């Protein structure tokens, strides 16, 4: 798969005994990875036995580290250098209450010619036999139809295209006709203009997925993830739900990206969609079991996959 990384980051996870505002904290554990959704998807795909490449907009300060980290983990990377500093995203896990507090820095701003050059670079890597995945936030200065351009490039090359985004860029990309849209529950509610609500069940997620599929003119399959409550997939065959009953895990950051990696790896192996959902749920759960986004244990993912329940939610 080819993962389009428009807004990469250095993602750090600190573990502390207790998080106390105003105090000095000395982490008991620390993990730092090349981050952003596209990077996480690629890294998880390799952990799951797939092949992944990243095309990234890389700020000049931090680009070398970014490439070294990805290549060390078996991910091929090609960059378009841009001025600025690689952004940092910090997650702090507090052992006493099991909470995760997150701090996300904004990325370097780009101009229109830079995005055009990057879109052309990504388009040139699209292949009919590999998924093209547009994932994550966009840097300031990127056009509103940025991911729609990626979708169009993928379709022109005959490549299947997945989009994992939020906000206006998701709306425009969905209209361009991707093959797969993956969002979480909150993103789906926002996309459909619904009020934020208490976490729902798979029946409500099915309603959201069906609504998003209609927005995409019925072309795209739509997945709505629900964290530990599973996920649903809406397609021309109907809507199925997938769930894994397991104890809560503390390191949820990156689980949605590991999930998407599972789906795309499954499709590239020729698996049916329901089996892809099984692999995806297992990958997300394995990610949450340890710190470090998308550094999942593939053996744990395989064990989890055997325990995932698949059921038809509605026709």
Q: For residue 25, give the nearest of 33, 36, 17 by alpha carbon.
A: 17
Q: How many CA atoms lie within 13 A of 75 on its CB side?
A: 36
What pLDDT does residue 150 have? 94
174 located within any domain: yes
Q: What CA–CA distances, in Å, run from 67 to 61, 63, 80, 230, 258?
A: 12, 6, 12, 33, 20
The residue ranges of DSSP E strands in 36-122, in sequence order, are 53-61, 76-85, 87-94, 99-104
45-75 pLDDT, tens digit per residue, is 999 999 999 999 999 999 999 999 999 999 9
Question: Mean pLDDT, 10 residues at a time, over the chain (315 residues)?
Answer: 96 93 92 93 96 95 94 94 93 90 89 93 91 94 94 93 93 93 93 79 90 85 93 95 85 93 97 97 94 92 95 85
Instruction: Please state, in angstroms and rounded to a whole number, the distance separating the CA atoms of residues 98 and 249.
Output: 9
75 located within any domain: yes
Query: Which residues neighbour 27 within 8 Å (Cβ) at sequence distance 6 or greater?
Result: 14, 15, 16
23 located within any domain: no
What pLDDT does residue 255 have? 94
What is the greatest pairwise CA distance in the chain? Answer: 55
Q: Name the domain count of the chain.
A: 1
What pLDDT does residue 162 have? 97
The dihedrals phi and psi of 129, each to the nearest 5 degrees, come to: -100, 10
Range of the structural domain that residue 49 is part of:
2-18+28-314
Q: What's this model's pTM, rounded to 2 decimal places?
A: 0.93
H-run or E-run covering 161: strand 161-164
What pLDDT does residue 199 have? 75
- Domain CATH for 89: 3.40.1190.20
What pLDDT does residue 292 have? 85
What pLDDT does residue 242 have? 96
């Amino acid at each position: 798969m080819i993962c389009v990384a428009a807004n990469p980051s250095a993602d750090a996870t600190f573990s502390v005994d207790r998080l106390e505002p105003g105090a000095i904290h000395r982490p008991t554990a620390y993990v730092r990875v090349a981050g952003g959704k596209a990077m996480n998807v690629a890294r998880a795909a390799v952990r799951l036995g797939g092949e992944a490449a990243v095309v990234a907009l890389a700020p000049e300060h931090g680009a070398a580290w970014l490439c070294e980290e990805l290549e060390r983990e078996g991910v091929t990377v090609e960059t378009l250098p841009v001025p600025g500093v690689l952004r940092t995203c910090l997650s702090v896990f507090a052992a006493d209450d099991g909470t995760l507090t997150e701090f996300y820095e904004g990325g370097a701003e780009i101009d229109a010619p830079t995005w055009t050059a990057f879109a052309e670079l990504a388009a040139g890597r699209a292949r009919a036999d590999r998924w093209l995945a547009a994932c994550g936030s966009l840097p300031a200065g990127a056009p509103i139809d940025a991911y729609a351009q990626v979708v169009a490039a993928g379709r022109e090359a005959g490549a299947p295209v997945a989009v994992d985004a939020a906000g206006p860029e998701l709306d425009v990309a969905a209209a361009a006709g991707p093959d797969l849209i993956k969002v979480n529950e909150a993103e789906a509610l926002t996309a459909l203009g619904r009020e934020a609500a208490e976490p729902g069940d798979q029946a409500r997620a099915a309603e959201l997925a069906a609504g998003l599929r209609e927005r995409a003119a019925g072309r795209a399959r739509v997945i709505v993830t629900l964290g530990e409550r599973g996920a649903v997939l809406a397609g021309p065959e109907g809507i199925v739900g997938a769930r894994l009953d397991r104890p809560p895990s503390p390191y949820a950051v990156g689980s949605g990206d590991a999930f998407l990696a599972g789906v795309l790896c499954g499709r590239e192996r020729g698996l049916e969609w329901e089996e892809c959902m099984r692999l995806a749920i297992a990958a997300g759960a394995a990610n949450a079991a340890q710190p470090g986004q998308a550094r999942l244990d593939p053996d744990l993912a395989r064990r989890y996959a055997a325990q995932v329940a698949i059921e038809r939610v509605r026709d």
